[in-house]
Amino acid sequence: MTVKLTEQEVSDALKNLKGWELREGKLCTKLEFENFISAFGFMARVAMRAEKIDHHPEWSNVYKTVNIALTTHDSGGLTAKDLALAEAIKQELEH
């Protein structure tokens, strides 16, 4: 099992994750894209990254909006896996 982050570690991490917030113990963001194809393409690219790091987001897509929530269920909160996936998502957005 992965070690759950402390409140201070989460707070420090949020300083480097623009557009992310803590909601109900999960790292959350809402992303808007130009259209459905752009949003779905982004999700497909992130899915491949998530599979490589063996950590998968809770997410939904409605037209051009993607909502993402990250948590590590078996640890009961946020872990380094969530931060790694948030960073991968950030990198994908920068491309």
53, two tokens: 């790091």
Grade residue 51 by pLDDT with cuts at 50, 70 and 90: very high
71, two tokens: 């948590």
Closest Cα to residue 73, out of 12, 19, 6, 25? 25
**Structure confidence at residue 1 (pLDDT):** 65
In the predicted model, what is the mean pLDDT of the chain? Answer: 94
On the question of pLDDT at 74 being above 90, the answer is no
Q: What is the mean pLDDT of residues 54-76?
A: 95
The model's pLDDT over 19-34, given as tens digits with 9 standing for 90+, comes to: 999 999 999 999 999 9
Rg, C-alpha atoms of the chain? 13
Instruction: Answer whether 45's CB lies under 8 Å from 92's CB.
Output: yes
On the question of pLDDT at 8 being above 70, the answer is yes
